[in-house]
Amino acid sequence: MTGTALPALGYRRLRRAAWHRLLGRELAAAASVHWVTQWYPGEALAAMQWEQLCALVAHARATSEFYRLRLEGAAIDPVLTPAGFRRIPPLRRQDIEAYWAGKSGAAGSSGILQRRSGGSSGEEVRIPLDRATYCWYIAGNLRGLRWWGADFTDRGAILLGSGGTGLGRLAVQVKDWAMNWLRIVVGDGFGEAPDVALDRMAAFRPTFLYGYPSAVHRLVRAVRAREASWRGQLKVIVLTGEPVYAFQRRAIEETFSCPVAEEYGNGEMGNIAFQCPLGTLHATVENVLLEVQMQPAGNGDGGAILATQLRNRLFPLIRYHTGDWGTVTASTCGCGRALPELRIAGRAQEQLVNGRGLVLARPRLESLFSGLPAHLQGAVQLVHHRPGAITCRVRRPRDASRDLGCVASLAAEIFGPDWKVDAVEVARFSRLPSGKLPYFVLSQADDDSPVYHE
């Protein structure tokens, strides 16, 4: 063995030891359960979830004044029934904020971690959990990667936020080092320097790429601008944290010559669902129980998605509003897994309103973005600032008059005569503090912007 190989071997052993110290034993146990239960029949999965749910609700009643009052107010018997569970009031972010005030002292205890929401549907919320529970939060991601021939222990490129500030950020950096991940922080300056990210990825040679769709699509535009093909050998690109639009998926698969999988989850719940190679978004039933709360108005496909985190005892999340709209049905997937199928129709807050009522924005956004010329895909953001009116913000159009006219004309055709459609040129889009980039914004009209009228 050469002299240079000895230090490298020692470095790998040190990294492996750090990985096992941070997550190894607990993550291996959770991952083992996920790998076995994915083949359970639907009845067995339902029975497993009900047993976990009853234990969770009993624990919440016994240890939390918040939940004791909540359950008593809804007249929930100590012996839980399906009808009783459905009477538990759904949990919203403002409830968590109130609950956090009484639980914040626990977050400073030894071994207690914090997970934060991305803030894409309002103010971020914090959730405490211990290390073992965190491993359950991410075990579904590990299983999903394995469906595509990758693994957590492979080299991975991560295009997400920084992971917080202070000690929280330091903990993320240690975890990335132990896992052998390259984290490329996605912030407001990310769109200005995609070539740096591509060069770092090329040198690192990751097996998988995991990131926000808007960030990965920005890399696509950078690769195309170079007029050269991507030479890496990615097994899968996992998109998470934002809606995955059809134009993004097509462009990413073509440019990087590898499949795209969608992972659905949030900071509060961890992994909720992962897309299998046959295209089905399968719910992670080992961790999360999903429901659909149908609305009388019937806005779009399905209803509001509620999720119950089955593993977190420090901070129970029971019937939590995820902020998304969709359906949950029994699996009919050819992969053979009975894990339920989840379909996301859009964000519940991303609604269009005019004189005819409310509709989800997602279907019209898909039509608009897919119908744009390639150089405008990913360069248009819709702002819904008052009923019956939208403004299309176009980032750095090549030919302002032609591109603004193209966007406004297509939007007017898709939205119809009941809508007033404008297009305006902007220098850049602003990302959220989490690094996410919304392509649909509810906002007040900016009267100082130069507007192209269709």
**How confident is the model over 239-263, as pLDDT tens digits?**
999 999 999 999 999 999 999 999 9
Which of residues 10 and 97 earns the better pLDDT score?
A: 97
Q: Do 171 and 266 fall within a single domain? A: yes
Instruction: Tell whether 226 and 362 lie within a shared domain.
Output: no
Contact 413, 350 (CB under 8 A): no
Q: Tell me, what's the pLDDT at 103?
A: 55
| 394 in the same domain as 300 | no
The answer to whether residue 251 sits within a structural domain is yes
State which of 347, 377, 411 marks the end of a domain: 347
- Give the whole-angstrom CA distance, residue 376 versus residue 397: 8
Please indicate, yes or no, whether residues 239 and 368 belong to a single structural domain of this protein. no
In a domain, 113, yes or no: yes
Domain boundary among 347, 373, 394: 347
Radius of gyration of the chain (CA): 23
123 and 17 in one domain? yes
Residue 87 lies inside a defined structural domain of this protein: yes
CA nearest 71: which of 54, 85, 81?
85
Residue reference for tokens 């996301």: 344
pLDDT at 4: 47
**For position 426, which CATH number holds?**
3.30.300
* pLDDT-above-90 percentage for the chain: 63
Domain span at 421: 351-453
Say whether pLDDT at 165 is over 90.
Answer: no
Mean pLDDT over residues 71-80, rounded?
91
Segment 43-53 mean pLDDT = 97
Question: Which of helix, strand or coil describes residue 276?
Answer: coil
pLDDT in tens, 111-143: 456 665 555 555 677 788 888 899 999 999 999
Residue range 166-182: average pLDDT? 78
- Cβ pair 37, 45 in contact under 8 A: yes
| Helix, coil or strand: residue 74 | coil
- Residue 283, CA distances (Å) to 53, 188, 193, 280 in order: 16, 32, 36, 9
Which tokens sit at 139?
A: 């075990």
Which value, to the nearest 10 degrees, does the dihedral of the CA atoms of residues 336, 338, 339, 344 take?
Answer: 80
Q: What count of other Cβ atoms lies within 10 Å of the Cβ of residue 22?
A: 19
Within this chain, do residues 295 and 359 fall inside the same structural domain, yes or no?
no
Task: Please tell me whether residues 217 and 361 are part of one structural domain.
Answer: no
- Answer whether residue 371 is part of any domain: yes
Classify residue 300 as left (phi > 0), alpha (psi -120 to 50) or beta.
left
The answer to the question of residue 293 being in a domain is yes
Question: What was the pLDDT predicted at 188?
Answer: 81
- Mean residue pLDDT of the chain comes to 86
pLDDT interval class at 170 (50, 70, 90) = confident
CA angle 314, 320, 325 (to 5 degrees): 150
What tens digit of pLDDT does each residue of 290-317 get?
999 987 655 557 899 999 999 999 989 9
Question: Using an 8 Å Cβ cutoff, are 362 and 347 in contact?
Answer: yes
Examine the domain organization and report whether 342 and 373 are in the same domain.
Answer: no
Confidence tier at 11 by pLDDT (50, 70, 90): low
Q: Answer yes or no: is 1 within a domain.
A: no
Cβ–Cβ under 8 Å, residues 243 and 213: yes
The answer to whether residue 129 is domain-embedded is: yes
* pLDDT score, position 433: 87
Task: Identify whether residues 397 and 323 lie together within a single domain.
Answer: no
pLDDT bin (cut points 50, 70, 90) of residue 187 is: confident
CB 169 within 8 A of CB 162: yes
pLDDT at 110: 42
* Residue of 159, 350, 376 lying closest to 247 (CA atoms): 376
Query: Using CA atoms, how far apart are residues 173 and 180, in angstroms rounded to an integer?
Result: 10
Kindly state whether residues 343 and 366 are assigned to the same domain: no
What span, in angstroms and rounded, lies between the C-alpha atoms of 436 and 270? 17
| In contact, 129 and 313? CB cutoff 8 Å | no
Identify the band that residue 98 occupies on the pLDDT scale cut at 50, 70 and 90.
Answer: confident
CB 368 within 8 A of CB 360: no
> What distance in Å separates the CA atoms of residue 419 and residue 416, rounded to the nearest whole number?
6
